[in-house]
Structure 1
Amino acid sequence: MASGSCSTALHTELGISVPETVHLQASDIEAETLHWARMMGLTANRRDAERLGRARFHLAAARFLPHVPAADVTLFSQWTTWFFFLDDEQDDGLAGHDQAWVRRTYGSLLAIVSTSRPPGPASPLQAALADLWQRTAPRMTPAWRTRFTTQMRHHRDAFLEQADNRVNGRVPSVEDYPRLRRRANGEHMFNLFEVAHRAEIPAPLARTSAWSELCAAANDITAWCNDIASYDRESASGDTTNYVTVFRHALGCDTRTAVEQVKQQIRRRLDDLRNARRLLGQETHRLHLDDQRHPIAQVADTLTDLPGTHFGWLLDSGRYTFPPPLNHDGTTGRAEDRPPPQPA
C-alpha cells in the first residue's frame, strides 16, 4: 500500500477529501476481475499477474462506484484492467517509441469497436476488448458509441505524439501538456461511468460545455495527481509525459518547485470541477431534462467525487509512490533538491 504521512499530507494540502466508503463486495469484484484477466490471456506470465495484483484496480472500481450493483462494478473493473495493459505498452513496451506499432495496434482495436469482432487471430488485448465491447455496446445508444470511439482515437493520437516526443527527446510545453495528458489519460474511459450507472447522458447535454468541462476537469485532476505520484519512476525512465517534468523543463527549476506548480494547477481545476457540476444542473433544466435529473446526477456526482475516490485508490495501490515529505528547510531529501554547500 502506497500510503504514509507524505501522501496523506498531499491530498489534505490539496483540499481533497478521501471517502472511506468501499463497495461491500470488493473481494468478489477482485476475484472476478483476476479470473477474467487470466481467461483473456492478459496475465499469461507471473510478472503481469503480479503487476495487476499490486495495482488493485478492483479497489479503484469499488471506491468509484460503492453503491452500484457488483456486476456493473466488475465490468468497470475489467475495463480498467484492460486499459492498464494497453497503457503500460506506451510506458514500458513498443508503443513508447514505435509509431507504426501504435497505428497497427489501434487499427485493430478501433475495428473491434466498429464491428465487435477482432480482425483475424486476436491478441490478448484484442480478445479482451472484444469481450468488453460485446457486453457494453448493446446497453448504449449510437451517440454514446460514437463519442466513445472518437475519444478512443484521441487516445491513439496521444500515443503517437508521446512516441514522437520520446524518439526526439522533446518535452511538451506547459501550454500543450494538459491537452496531451488528458487524451493520454483515456478520455473514453470516463464514459464508462454511464455504463456502470446504467444512465446514459442525453446527447444534447453531452454536447454542452458544462458536461465537457466536468469530464475534462475530473480527468485533469486525476492525471496530474498520478503525475506527482509517478514522477520518480517516469523521470528515471526518461519519460517526458509528466507535468512535474514539464514544469522543471519550462522553468529550469528543481523538483520541489515543479511539484508546487502542479499542485497549483490541481487546485484551480478543483474549482473548475465544482463550477462545472453546478452549471450542469442548470443545463439539465434548460434542456428540459428534469425528468432525467436523478440518473444524470448519479453520473455527474461520481465524476465530481472522483478526485477523492481516485486518491483513495492511489493510497491503496502498489502502482504509485509519492514524493518524500518536506524537511524543515523545504527540501525533500533528494540530492537534486538539497541546497548547495556553503563555503567554510
Structure 2
Amino acid sequence: MGLLSPVVLPPGPAIWTEESFGSDDWPLFAALTHPDVTARRLTVIAQWDVCLLALDDYFVTAYKLPRDPVGARVFVERVPLFMPVRGGGSVPVPANQVEHALAELWQRTSPEMPTEARERFARWVTEFVAANLDELDAALYGHVPDPVHYLEFRRASAGTDLSVGLTGIRPASGPALRRLEDAFADTVGLRNDIYSYRKEIDEEREVCNAVHCFYHLLGGSLQDAVDVTYRLFQERIQEFIRVSEHETGPEHTGYVTALRDWMAGDNQWYRHTGRYRQGTSRHLHPA
C-alpha cells in the first residue's frame, strides 16, 4: 500500500520507516490481543490494526504537527467515502497512501460482514479518526481538558469500539455490558497515556493525555501525575472484574474472555514494542 513511502500518492508524508514499523510490531499486537482466533482471522485483524494506526499516525504527521485544522477536517470527511456500506459503491480516487490502504482493505474484507456490521464498523472507523479533531483543537488553543471530561472523550480516541468489534463476538449491549466496555476502554486509554506521554507531549505537542491532565490540574511532580493515572487505571481494572463476575451471565462468558485476553495482550505488547522508547517515558514507573 506504500505506507512506508513519502510520495506514493501525493501529498503523502511518510508516517513510518521500515525500522520504525518493525519496531512497533503490530503483528505481535494482533497476536497477543487475539490469542485464540484462526490464522485467517488473525491476518485480517492484523491488517486492520495496521490500517487504523496508519490513519492515526498520518493524521499526526500531516495535520497535527503542522497545525492544519482545515486539511484535517477535509481528511476526516473523506474517510467514510472509502467504506461504502452497500455493495458495489464507488469510492473517490485516494489522495494519499492511507486512503489507498483503507479503500483496498475495505473492499477486500467488508463483503464478509453483514450489512449492519458494515454500518457499525464504518462508523467506528470514522469516529476513531474524527476524535483527532478534538485533540487538534485542544492543542491549537492550549486547552488541557479536565480529567473527567477527558476520560469520556478518550473512550472514542482509544478506538476501543474497533477493538471490541474485531473480536467478532460482540453481543447485544445492555447496561452491564456498557459498564464493562467503559471500564475496558478506560484501561486501554490510561495505559497508553502513561506509556506514550513523552511521545505525545514532547514530540507531538499534544495536550490530551491523562498524565498531562492530572499534572495540569493537581500540580506536583510529573511522577505524581503518573501515579494518579496508574491508580485510576487499577480502579478501572477492578471495575471490569466486578462487573464481569457479578453482572454478566454465562451467555457473556466468551465475550468477557475475549476482552480480558485483549487487555492482557495489550499490556504484554507494551513491554515489547519499541514505539514508545524515544524520549524518557521508559523512566516513568507507576508506584
| TM-score category (smaller protein) | 0.7 to 0.9
CA distance in 2, matches of 1:143, 1:214: 23
Aligned pairs for 1:39-188 (under 5 A) are 40-44=1-5, 47-96=16-65, 97-115=67-85, 117-188=90-161
Residue of structure 2 aligned with 1:209, choices 167, 175, 195:
175
In the TM superposition, what whole-angstrom CA distance separates every residue of 1:251-298 from its partner, at most 9, and x where no partner exists?
12211110111011101110121233346633xx7xxxxxxx4xx543
Aligned pairs for 1:145-294 (under 5 A) are 145-195=118-168, 199=169, 201-202=170-171, 205-206=172-173, 208-237=174-203, 238-278=205-245, 281-282=248-249, 293=251
Give the letter aligned to residue 226 of structure 2: V
Q: What CA RMSD, in Å, does the superposition of the two structures yield over aligned residues?
A: 2.4
Give the letter aligned to residue 143 of structure 2: R
CA distance in 1, matches of 2:227, 2:160: 25
Give the letter aligned to residue 109 of structure 1: V
In the TM superposition, what whole-angstrom CA distance separates every residue of 1:195-249 from its partner, at most 9, and x where no partner exists?
4xxx4x34xx23x123333333222212211111111222223211111100000
Secondary structure of 1:93's partner? helix
Compared with structure 1, are the counterparts of its residues 210 and 151 closer, same or farther at alpha carbon in structure 2 (3 Å cutoff)? farther
Maintained 8 Å contact 1:214/1:303: no
Q: TM-score, normalised by structure 2?
A: 0.84
Give the letter aligned to residue 324 of structure 1: H
Maintained 8 Å contact 2:180/2:240: yes
Maintained 8 Å contact 1:151/1:187: no
In the TM superposition, what whole-angstrom CA distance separates every residue of 1:81-119 from its partner, at most 9, and x where no partner exists?
111211113433314532222221122211122356531
CA distance in 1, matches of 2:201, 2:113: 40
Maintained 8 Å contact 1:54/1:317: yes
CA distance in 2, matches of 1:179, 1:89: 24
Maintained 8 Å contact 2:33/2:264: no
Maintained 8 Å contact 2:34/2:167: no
Compared with structure 1, are the counterparts of its residues 306 and 76 closer, same or farther at alpha carbon in structure 2 (3 Å cutoff)? same
Q: CA offset at residue 309 of structure 1? A: 1.0
Give the letter aligned to residue 79 of structure 2: L
1:315 maps to what in 2? 271
Q: CA offset at residue 148 of structure 1? A: 2.4
Maintained 8 Å contact 1:43/1:49: yes
Instruction: State which drifts further: 213-222 or 256-265.
Output: 213-222
Maintained 8 Å contact 2:128/2:156: yes
Name stretches of at least 5 consecutive residues in structure 2 with no aligned partner: 7-13
Name stretches of at least 5 consecutive residues in structure 1 with no aligned partner: 1-39, 286-292, 331-344
Instruction: State which drifts further: 217-226 or 109-118.
Output: 109-118
Q: CA offset at residue 122 of structure 1? A: 4.9
Secondary structure of 2:166's partner? helix
1:21 maps to what in 2? none
CA distance in 2, matches of 1:152, 1:68: 22
CA distance in 2, matches of 1:280, 1:59: 32
CA distance in 2, matches of 1:134, 1:274: 38
CA distance in 1, matches of 2:256, 2:26: 21
Instruction: State which drifts further: 159-168 or 267-276.
Output: 267-276
Compared with structure 1, are the counterparts of its residues 162 and 121 closer, same or farther at alpha carbon in structure 2 (3 Å cutoff)? closer
Q: TM-score, normalised by structure 1?
A: 0.71
Over alpha carbons, which structure has the higher Rg? 1
Maintained 8 Å contact 2:56/2:129: no
Maintained 8 Å contact 2:276/2:282: no
In the TM superposition, what whole-angstrom CA distance separates every residue of 1:295-329 from its partner, at most 9, and x where no partner exists?
x5434312123232101111111002444267xxx
2:261 maps to what in 1? 305
